[in-house]
Structure 1
Amino acid sequence: MIRGTSVRLRAMGAEDAESLWRWNHDPEVMRWMENPHPQTLSQVRDRLAARAANAYDDLLLGVEALADGVLIGLVALREAAPEKGIASLDIYLGEKEYWGRGHATDAMRTVCRYGFGDMRLHKIELTVVTENHAARRVYEKVGFMEEGRLRRCFRRDGQWYDRYAMGLFPDELR
């Protein structure tokens, strides 16, 4: 487990399927994310059970609140390659009652520290829909900087939105 100030990051498994299934079927949680096609709880459980062990190129961690041990979200570093030293980051908190308490910021800092320290990454990247102001504030708080704009690449409710491409180097982590 990887411990932050208010969260703990740990490997996810089939026992986490119910939470993941519930979050992925909550329109408010999924508002600014690519929605997976609907799946049954059994399909989500099977997918998590069949998932390969965490590895350098595909790290999936559950985010638990330290105060009560509740699984509140997930974070992933993916597409990392040692020769590039760059990984893409995904994060979301599915338990809405934990939103706005600093857990996402702590999870971001914690996974970035792990990526730069233990994985020896040179850079961590992400994209965020321009209208997802709350997520962007979290990313900027941690030190991510806008590097570009991907135009009209995300569709929601019949409208196309842009995404910001953001990046973070080890010396920028706050």
Structure 2
Amino acid sequence: MLFESSRIKLRKMTIEDTDLYHQWRNDIDVMQTTSPNLDIYTFEETKSFVREVILHSSTSKSYIITVKDSGETPIGVISLIQIDNVNHNAECIIDIGNKDYWGKGYGKEAMQLLLNYAFSEMNLHRLSLRVFSFNLKAIKLYEKLGFFHEGRSRQFLYRNGKWHDLLHMGMLRTEYV
């Protein structure tokens, strides 16, 4: 199966995932390393975002990451956004929302499944992502997966009393192994 590894499955996100996504989206610890905006969202704002931006967009695909050996426990969301079918490129986003699963390699497995799908099934030529300069674990993971540093937006984010850069990384299909 395309969206399955030995430990995880990716399944298409549905409106029924709104409650769970709302919890993750409002967890400051989860959003600290991935979102430039640490606002607290109402349930209606999250529901509208899921319905309009995630589920009904022709330029994005979002999947819930579930752990197979724990009764399909949802642990995060992974997406391709800004899908450009003319130029064959997209941007990757991942959030492991369930903190019990942080640092255990689930993000790497999910990214590998997404990369394989994007390059092999969707025939994309290029994938990109953005990561905050203080998120060293994520940067190391992306480098291991084969992403290259392509640029930097200096002092993009003010977090915890300091300015941080936004790093731009990318990978071409020919670089994916």
TM-score between both structures, scaled by the size of structure 2: 0.88
> Paired residue for 1:118?
121
Structure 2 segments unaligned to the other structure (5+ residues): none
Contact 2:66–2:73 under 8 Å retained in 1? yes
Counterpart among 78, 87, 91 of residue 94 in structure 2: 91
Q: How much has 1:51 moved relative to structure 2?
A: 5.2
Q: Which moved more, 1:112-121 or 1:10-19?
A: 10-19
Partner amino acid for 1:16?
D
Q: How much has 1:34 moved relative to structure 2?
A: 2.2
Counterpart among 32, 36, 46 of residue 44 in structure 1: 46
What whole-Å deviation, never above 9, does each CA across 1:89-109 have from its counterpart, x for those lacking one? 111101011111110000001
Partner amino acid for 2:9?
R
- Number of residue-to-residue matches in the alignment: 174
Contact 2:28–2:38 under 8 Å retained in 1? no
Q: How much has 1:56 moved relative to structure 2?
A: 5.7
TM-score between both structures, scaled by the size of structure 1: 0.89
Name the CA distance, whole Å, in 1 between partners of 2:118 and 2:56: 13
Secondary structure class of the residue paired with 2:103: coil
Change (3 A) 1:125 1:98: same
What whole-Å deviation, never above 9, does each CA across 1:73-118 have from its counterpart, x for those lacking one? 1111111212211101111101011111110000001001101111
Contact 1:149–1:163 under 8 Å retained in 2? yes
Partner amino acid for 1:35?
N
Q: CA RMSD in A?
A: 2.0
Structure 1 segments unaligned to the other structure (5+ residues): none
> Paired residue for 1:154?
157
Counterpart among 146, 170, 173 of residue 170 in structure 1: 173
Name the CA distance, whole Å, in 1 between partners of 2:10 and 2:68: 10
Contact 1:24–1:35 under 8 Å retained in 2? no
Change (3 A) 1:137 1:51: same
Name the CA distance, whole Å, in 2 between partners of 1:163 and 1:116: 25
Name the CA distance, whole Å, in 2 between partners of 1:84 and 1:122: 8
> Paired residue for 1:7?
8
* Structure number with higher helix proportion: 2
Name the CA distance, whole Å, in 2 between partners of 1:97 and 1:10: 20
Q: How much has 1:19 moved relative to structure 2?
A: 1.6
> Paired residue for 1:58?
60
Change (3 A) 1:56 1:118: farther
Counterpart among 79, 88, 111 of residue 76 in structure 1: 79
Secondary structure class of the residue paired with 1:38: coil
